[in-house]
Structure 1
Amino acid sequence: MFALNSLRVAVLLSLGAHALAFAQEPAPPAPPAPPAPSPSTEVPVVATTPLQPAAAPAPAVAAPAATRPFAELVRGARQHPGFLNLYQKEEKVWIELRPDQFDRPLFMSVNMPNGLGERGVYGSQMGFSRVVTFHRIGNLVQMIAKNTQFKAIGGTPEAKVVAQGFSDSLVAIAPVSSGPNPKNQSVLIDANILLFGDIPGFSTRLESAFRLQYAMDARNSSFTSVRSDEAMTGFQVNAHYAVARIPAPPPVMPAMPAAIASPPTTLPDPRSMFLGFYYTFMPLPAEPMASRRADDRVGHFVTTNQDFSDDVAPTTAVHMVSRWRLEKKDPAQALSEPKQPIVYWMDANIPDKYRESVRQGILAWNAAFEKIGFKDAVVVKQQTAADRFDTMDARHASVRWFVGSDVGFAIGPRQVDPRTGEILDADIGMSDGFSRTARRMVSEDGMGGTVAFAPHDGDAAHEDRCDYMLQSGDEMGFAMGLLEARGELEMGSPQADAVAQAYVRSVIMHEVGHTLGLRHNFRSSTIYTIKQLQDAAFTREHGMTGSVMDYTPFNLALKGERQGEYVASALGPYDYWAIEYAYKPIEPAREKQELARIAARSNEPLLAFGTDQDAGGFNSDPDVNVFDLGSDPLAYFQRRLAISRELWDRIQNRTLKPGESYESLRRSFDYGFQQFARTMPVVVKYVGGVTYLRDHAGTGRATFTPVPLPRQRAALKMLTNSLFKSDSFTFTPAMISRLGADTFAMRGKADVSVGGRVLGLQAGVLDQLMSDAVAVRLIDSREKLDNPGLGLGLDELYSTVQDAVWSELKTGKDITGMRRNLQREHLKRVAVMLLRATPSMPADARSLQRENSLALQRDLRGAMARPASREVKAHLSESYETLSQALKAPMLRVGT
């Protein structure tokens, strides 16, 4: 038996050293000294072993020696009693585990209070959570993540089948450090060994971000603080990651530059970094919350389990609404305080001047809870120096600020009990750009630059990542520039500061909605008319959209129109409905019936719903969009393009004050192009577009309805007039020559390529209009019509685009350089369609393009006979030859 146990230990130690990367990696040469840990009110624990150059690899878990008596090991150690008792002696920390704590499921969360400040590695970020158990094998303790995704009723044959079919995962290991405690037979395990491995999997994340193989360095990692009470046990780890060397850049840039190493830019020495992880261990709720089945007509985040208990059900998937446990103190009262409110802690790192706006944004949700009988369901508390906890632990929902060199987003994630969908923790992260962008636009010159997009990865990140703050920051920059140019808002004034505060408050409302379990609702912007949106009293009462979970643009009136609220200040009707479905107290016996009644209201116009998968991609619903307003999205986009052109006209005639930087003109100029870049791809969705409703039977509405032909034609006309006409873009040389850049932040050439910006817009729209996906969409949409002639045809699409792009061939007008570039882009795509038939290309698309190409060839031949400049003649001749060769060449079938 002893030999068998020794073999088990050896195998598991090998697994810990290799598969789980617990072994010490080679240290980098001459790294910087570790930075001092951030101030903490808790007991600091520091590493004492310095990092040495060229250190030899050493296993993090050595072969277990004879254990020491419990009393001897803890003699002189400071005890932290709590959920898990801790003992601390200098840099060492031990966890005490009683016999009843082995193989007992508990909740573990891993959050990230400290980061790197670039490329997705930021501080104040919520990580992931697991249900884990401590399992003992001889003198080794495994921390095992339980597989909670698959289940069946306990004690049944189905439960045995599930257990045999799906595996748990080994997360970490540590040796037993002590003999049993004579009082309760508990033992100690080494927390330094257990938690100084790469449990968060950040070596892969760092490799993805920087293309460098950073490894966890356990020897130079340490506990910044440890804390334990009856509710939870927490460890903040200052984790060191290192790479032995930074490879030299290649002498010649490869074809795929993203594959080469790109070291961090925010570190004193890019070979070494310290990242902070906060590990929380706490009991799962002793009495699981009653779960609530989700309904696809209402947009909630869900916790999904695969339940194999019933082999009659059409699917094993069970979708439960993610929600907080909310129960009335007095169920008999129509309006009662909850037994336990949803408490949000405003972290001490939130700047003072924005705390009131953040508080208001959180508390705005109480209006929805009052409708279903809860008084003060949401409570806000401000963390002070007297509060001896980190809001990154799993017991304190929080709002935190964070900074970085490339950040510009906010995020509202949650961690849930996988058994029921109960939300146990939520930490809203707000980047410094949240305030800095607003303040910069207000106090400097009213314009903002584009914040770089921050990459993200991980399961929760894709679901929870919210770019509302990033994109609404651009919206605010555009709005402030326009209002300043109109003379309607003076930068640095109290009115301008009020707009910035309202902007912060509105985005907080949005992110809090995520932490309450609500998904995006991008159809909600269509429920009110433009006239209603111009009435500030109306929007303060009813909301600016159906839901604050939409991405709402600044509500800008055309010149001469009445101006309403700039940003949303109140919840919309959908928000009340979604909160009612998730949180309304319902007796169990009638819950199914009552939830069906609530969800059946989905066909009410004010409760319109469409979420992320409906808004993105070629086949998305054209009425489900980000940053639109009003009951007619096409009309809104036309208004926004008109405002963009107004901004351009105003900056062309603007006289700057002596000494004022030309950079402000450059930003306003670019904001206009941003509006075009945001608008045009959405307008394309109407071409062959199909609306998608989540109705269930009984509403009388079809699930899929093609966009009416007049609206498709209107969208196509908007595209051609805005992008493809000969006078779509005209700028004075005097204005272009003044578009100075920020010379401190400038990369590449300083001057502006207007033609390049215009061509980028045009090429992007051509890519969409002439894609296989749009061709398939047009053909498929006719299948849903009793009269196929009421759908837009491929021939009309291709002919309209070609006539607009090549209009000079018939009018005889001069073909400018900007127009020649557009025509080459169109011809390039036509030639590809003629020469390379992809598997997804409809046969009709290629045959119609061939017919159109023959007509274009005749027009080119006629134009070549007319007088023109040498550049134009060369362009026409080359275009004719390219088209002729494409028509003659044999077709290459791709993918066959």
Structure 2
Amino acid sequence: MREKAFLHSVKLLCLLILLLFIPVTVLSQKKKKKETETEVVKDSTDSKKGKKYNDLVKKGTLKKGLFNIIQVKTDVYFEIQDSLFKREFLIVNKLSQVPFQINEAGLNKGMNYENKIISFYKDTIAKKVWVKTYVPKVSSPKEDAITASVIDNFSESVIEVFDIETKNNDSSAVVIKVNKIFDGKQKSFNDVLSNTGIGGSVKSDLSYIESLKTFPKNIVVKSQLTTSFSDGTSSLPITLGVTTNIILLDKTPMKPRFSDNRIGFFSEKHWYFTDAQQAMLEKELITRWRLEPKKEDEERYLKGELVEPKKPIVYYIDPSTPKQWRKYIIDGVLDWQAAFERAGFKNAIIAKEPTEKDLDFDVDDVRYSVITYAASPKSNAMGPSVVDPRSGEIIEADIIWWHNVMTSLQSWMRIQTGPIDPKARGNVFSEEHMGEAIRFVSSHEVGHTFGLKHNMGASFAYDVESLRSKEFTAKMGGTAPSIMDYARYNYVAQPEDNVTVITPKIGEYDKYAIEWGYRWYGPNENETARLNEAIAKHQNDPIYFYGEQGSDIDPRSQSEDLGNDAVKASEYGLKNLKRVVDNILNWSYDKDQSYYQTGKLYIGAIGQWQTYNGHVLTNIGGVYLNPTVHGDNKQSYVPVPAAMQKRAVDYLVKNVITIPQWLFFNDVLDKTNPLKDSPFGPYEYTPYTMSRALQYDVMYSLFSDDRLLRMTENELYQRNKTNEKVFTVNDLFQKLHQSVFAGTIQNKSLSILERMTQKNYVDVLIVSTNKLFEKTDVKKTIQIEETLQMPHLCSLNEAHMARNINNSFLKRVTEVTSDKKGELSKVLQLLRTKRSTGDQSTQNHYRDLIQRIDKALNNTTF
């Protein structure tokens, strides 16, 4: 028993010992197993990561560049290096293909429609890549306290997010799938429909990525994006070819140069905050290329030697440009070499056709500045640029050259120079003659891509009589000291003057402006002082005057005008225009052809007449707006002299109030009416309807509230300041009244045209007066002024930059109302006295006008 009990005790003890050890062993084994599993999982993760990246590359294609691009069938991936996160990129979107419907609307290949700065941010916790954008127009010193507030009040906005698909093999880059930003599913990188004004949304199932290229500093992605367009009766499919460029910007932006309103450069607004300020500082950075001497040439440059720039400006000619015009376009670019030599650089500009050496050449690639040729019925050309908004640096230039620009050139030359140049008379010009015109347009548009705005005030520098001098025009090179003016061709010169230099050329102002914008200054030079000195040196010379585009106040800064006296220049222009009208049938003759070309030439002549009217009209109530600074002793506002305003009114009385029958009623009408092209075919204007509408347009503008208010302001200010003679609103009405109602005063029977003029006069006063009290809408007449006037180039929006004098506040309580009603009362009194004079048609006319004026003035007696 005892032995049994002992054995039993031993067994129990062994069992207890076993029980004590088993948990330790099991736990130990479990722990080892867990540790092993963890290692396996870790290895597996690395393996899967590497496997996934390698599989992507193996299955697809890998293109190395700024971002490596991996393409697996239709899936597109960007491989973004860690070093590129938080860097700034510029997105540039362009049209690369357009269908018929869009072409006809004026949107064409090469047009840049959307730019913005973005940055990529890696989020390792959420395993995503965020894309943010901001407006880079605010700066503050890093060390200033206000900088923290600047950061918070001008922060970035998130525009896109991507999942991190995998990493590359050494984990130095992440891979994201990017289809959605290029195939139309998302608008974050490319909102083509909104930014071109088409509207609607992209049909992603009918859209796709077409091609991708990556280079060391940029990426080019081309897509085909489809939407639909309704013409009111049916829905039409529209597929746009779009190209998105993603450009890596320099870490340190170019040193900016600040604008000056005495010289015309495009600019980018910028706000500056500092602790020391009492108010935020707003400046504008001019847009210009980064043109610098090479390091080894800096000393020679500063001594005044011409040196080649570190990086020249290169323009490529679109291979689709007709061969016969390429030489002239290139010559127009290279004509600017002399201007850059003034700034100290030789061979600063290169213009060439792409060759086999340019293996990667692509019209839509921002590495290439291209003069893009657009097959389109649009008659225009323009020269916008892609700009780094942080500094104003021009990165790339896009000149769009519409094929039909030649129709505008031919119209200008034919009507403005046909009387003095036999080469400019036919329906088709010689290749050489058209080529020289193309060269002029090339120079003008390239000037815009250097940052130069239109200088509509340049032509005012030349005396009108000088434009009739063969010697002067040959010496000065054309019609104005700036090719950036719209000083087209010399319509002032008469046949007997024998002037031969009639085409605008790069002038003295252009060279001065390029020097001001592009001269490089060393680190020890006071750049601001030097730039101010350059302007001050020429501030009293009209050749260097800059006149903003878009002003209808300053008669010096007008489009299409010549010389310093609009009345005299227009009188010379009319003499030549009469010669054109006398020869319309001969110059447009083309055996067995319709009179289409005849009608087009005829309406062009009428448009030129209307252009002259506008030039003269701006002088009435006009003000010379001088860009001034403290210390220059110049007046900012100078009313146009009273004598000039009187001459301007006399011109309009003679050539508009009295309808020129040589223009509107002549032998051409036996064959055709004036013709204007429209989407539905040529549109015919009858002479009575056209002359009535155009006369009305001039009268309405002449009696515009703003013009009369400027005359009132001038009368008040000038008479309080000096005893100088002032041309008043009463003077204006007296001159017009005596002319418009001359036949009535003399008890004559009125002709149809005289009755027409009186009706226009009275209606303009009634409509414009009622408009002050919001009883009627703005005049509703045939809007044909823009249709008829000579065509314009450059769709660059500069009008918002022009100075504007705000005198529109509470017009109904100004003298304008009293003056207009007073004139209506005067007319009413005259008509009541004369209502029984003249023939039956005249008397009917008087009764009609009396009733109209009675109603307008709320009179109850008749």
Coarse TM-score class (shorter-chain normalised)? 0.7 to 0.9
CA distance, structure 1, for counterparts of residue 319 and residue 590 of structure 2: 41
Q: Of 371, 377, 381, which residue of structure 1 is paired with 2:342?
A: 371
Q: Of 55, 62, 71, which residue of structure 2 is paired with 1:88?
A: 71
Q: 1:195-210, aligned counterparts within 5 Å?
A: 195-196=182-183, 197-198=186-187, 199-205=189-195, 208=197
CA distance, structure 2, for counterparts of residue 578 and residue 173 of structure 1: 45
Contact conserved, 1:328 with 1:337, CA < 8 A, in 2?
yes
Partner of 1:759: 692
Partner of 1:883: 853
CA distance, structure 2, for counterparts of residue 526 and residue 181 of structure 1: 65
Q: 1:652-731, aligned counterparts within 5 Å?
A: 656=589, 659-725=592-658, 731=664
CA distance, structure 2, for counterparts of residue 621 and residue 744 of structure 1: 32
Could you say what secondary structure the match of 1:587 adopts? coil
- Summarize the Cα distance change of 1:118–1:716 in structure 2 as closer, same or farther, 3 Å threshold: same
2:140 maps to amino acid: A
- After superposing the two structures, state which structure 1 stretch, 81-90 or 641-650, moved more: 641-650
- After superposing the two structures, state which structure 1 stretch, 584-593 or 355-364, moved more: 584-593
Contact conserved, 1:345 with 1:380, CA < 8 A, in 2?
yes
Deviation at 1:121, TM superposition (A): 2.2
Deviation at 1:663, TM superposition (A): 2.3
Contact conserved, 1:428 with 1:512, CA < 8 A, in 2?
yes
- After superposing the two structures, state which structure 1 stretch, 164-173 or 336-345, moved more: 164-173
Q: 1:202-601, aligned counterparts within 5 Å?
A: 202-205=192-195, 208=197, 213-242=199-228, 246=230, 248=232, 271-312=236-277, 314-329=279-294, 330-333=297-300, 334-384=305-355, 387=358, 388-405=360-377, 407-435=378-406, 437=407, 474-479=411-416, 482=419, 489=424, 491=426, 496-535=430-469, 538-539=472-473, 541-544=475-478, 545-556=480-491, 557-569=493-505, 571-589=506-524, 590-601=526-537
Partner of 2:781: none
Q: Of 53, 64, 68, which residue of structure 2 is paired with 1:70?
A: 53
Partner of 1:27: none
- Summarize the Cα distance change of 1:98–1:600 in structure 2 as closer, same or farther, 3 Å threshold: same
Contact conserved, 1:112 with 1:277, CA < 8 A, in 2?
yes
Deviation at 1:289, TM superposition (A): 1.9
Contact conserved, 1:371 with 1:576, CA < 8 A, in 2?
yes
CA distance, structure 2, for counterparts of residue 317 and residue 655 of structure 1: 55
Partner of 2:38: none
Q: When the two structures are superposed, what TM-score results if normalisation uses the length of structure 2?
A: 0.82
| Per-residue deviation, residues 138-172 of structure 1 (Å, max 9, x unmatched) | 24333222221222223543222112112433343
Q: 1:642-657, aligned counterparts within 5 Å?
A: 642-651=575-584, 656=589
Could you say what secondary structure the match of 1:705 adopts? strand
Could you say what secondary structure the match of 2:700 adopts? helix
- Summarize the Cα distance change of 1:121–1:594 in structure 2 as closer, same or farther, 3 Å threshold: same
Contact conserved, 2:245 with 2:365, CA < 8 A, in 1?
yes
- Summarize the Cα distance change of 1:842–1:612 in structure 2 as closer, same or farther, 3 Å threshold: farther
- Summarize the Cα distance change of 1:514–1:237 in structure 2 as closer, same or farther, 3 Å threshold: same
CA distance, structure 1, for counterparts of residue 138 and residue 441 of structure 2: 36
| Per-residue deviation, residues 575-598 of structure 1 (Å, max 9, x unmatched) | 111111111121233212211111
Could you say what secondary structure the match of 1:237 adopts? strand
Q: Of 776, 779, 795, which residue of structure 1 is paired with 2:730?
A: 795
CA distance, structure 2, for counterparts of residue 149 and residue 565 of structure 1: 45
Partner of 1:162: 150
- Summarize the Cα distance change of 1:726–1:136 in structure 2 as closer, same or farther, 3 Å threshold: closer
CA distance, structure 1, for counterparts of residue 646 and residue 675 of structure 2: 42
1:547 maps to amino acid: S
- Summarize the Cα distance change of 1:221–1:67 in structure 2 as closer, same or farther, 3 Å threshold: farther
Could you say what secondary structure the match of 1:719 adopts? helix
CA distance, structure 2, for counterparts of residue 294 and residue 72 of structure 1: 54
- Summarize the Cα distance change of 1:323–1:700 in structure 2 as closer, same or farther, 3 Å threshold: same
Deviation at 1:489, TM superposition (A): 4.9
- Summarize the Cα distance change of 1:510–1:771 in structure 2 as closer, same or farther, 3 Å threshold: same
Partner of 2:820: 849
Contact conserved, 1:534 with 1:564, CA < 8 A, in 2?
no
- Summarize the Cα distance change of 1:801–1:599 in structure 2 as closer, same or farther, 3 Å threshold: same
Contact conserved, 1:144 with 1:168, CA < 8 A, in 2?
yes
- Across the aligned residues of Structure 1 and Structure 2, the Cα RMSD in angstroms comes to 2.9
| Per-residue deviation, residues 809-854 of structure 1 (Å, max 9, x unmatched) | 0234432323323322221232345656443145423333333333
Could you say what secondary structure the match of 1:560 adopts? helix
- After superposing the two structures, state which structure 1 stretch, 725-734 or 591-600, moved more: 725-734
| Per-residue deviation, residues 39-59 of structure 1 (Å, max 9, x unmatched) | xxxxxxxxxxxxxxxxxxxxx
Structure 2 residues not aligned, in runs of 5+: 1-48, 774-809
Alignment partner of 1:186 is 2:121: no
- After superposing the two structures, state which structure 1 stretch, 834-843 or 277-286, moved more: 834-843
- Summarize the Cα distance change of 1:750–1:354 in structure 2 as closer, same or farther, 3 Å threshold: closer
1:596 maps to amino acid: N
Could you say what secondary structure the match of 2:166 adopts? coil
Q: 1:134-173, aligned counterparts within 5 Å?
A: 134-137=120-123, 138-173=126-161
| Per-residue deviation, residues 236-289 of structure 1 (Å, max 9, x unmatched) | 12222236xx4755xxxxxxxxxxxxx8xxxxxx53212122222222124432
CA distance, structure 1, for counterparts of residue 585 and residue 739 of structure 2: 27
Structure with greater helix percent: 2
Deviation at 1:389, TM superposition (A): 2.6
2:167 maps to amino acid: P
Could you say what secondary structure the match of 2:91 adopts? strand
| Per-residue deviation, residues 560-586 of structure 1 (Å, max 9, x unmatched) | 2322323123x2111111111111121
Contact conserved, 2:427 with 2:588, CA < 8 A, in 1?
no
- After superposing the two structures, state which structure 1 stretch, 386-395 or 319-328, moved more: 386-395
Alignment partner of 1:125 is 2:111: yes
- Summarize the Cα distance change of 1:578–1:867 in structure 2 as closer, same or farther, 3 Å threshold: closer
- Summarize the Cα distance change of 1:879–1:738 in structure 2 as closer, same or farther, 3 Å threshold: same
- Summarize the Cα distance change of 1:120–1:610 in structure 2 as closer, same or farther, 3 Å threshold: same
CA distance, structure 1, for counterparts of residue 261 and residue 654 of structure 2: 39
- Summarize the Cα distance change of 1:599–1:859 in structure 2 as closer, same or farther, 3 Å threshold: same
- After superposing the two structures, state which structure 1 stretch, 115-124 or 291-300, moved more: 115-124
Partner of 1:41: none
| Per-residue deviation, residues 286-313 of structure 1 (Å, max 9, x unmatched) | 4432222222211111122111125526
2:746 maps to amino acid: T
| Per-residue deviation, residues 166-190 of structure 1 (Å, max 9, x unmatched) | 24333434333x2222313422112
Partner of 1:810: 745
CA distance, structure 2, for counterparts of residue 834 and residue 740 of structure 1: 35
Alignment partner of 1:603 is 2:539: yes
- After superposing the two structures, state which structure 1 stretch, 804-813 or 656-665, moved more: 656-665
CA distance, structure 2, for counterparts of residue 548 and residue 69 of structure 1: 60
Contact conserved, 1:834 with 1:887, CA < 8 A, in 2?
no
| Per-residue deviation, residues 343-365 of structure 1 (Å, max 9, x unmatched) | 11112122111111110111111
CA distance, structure 2, for counterparts of residue 127 and residue 726 of structure 1: 45
CA distance, structure 1, for counterparts of residue 676 and residue 814 of structure 2: 52
Among the aligned pairs, what percent are the same residue?
A: 22
Could you say what secondary structure the match of 1:358 adopts? helix
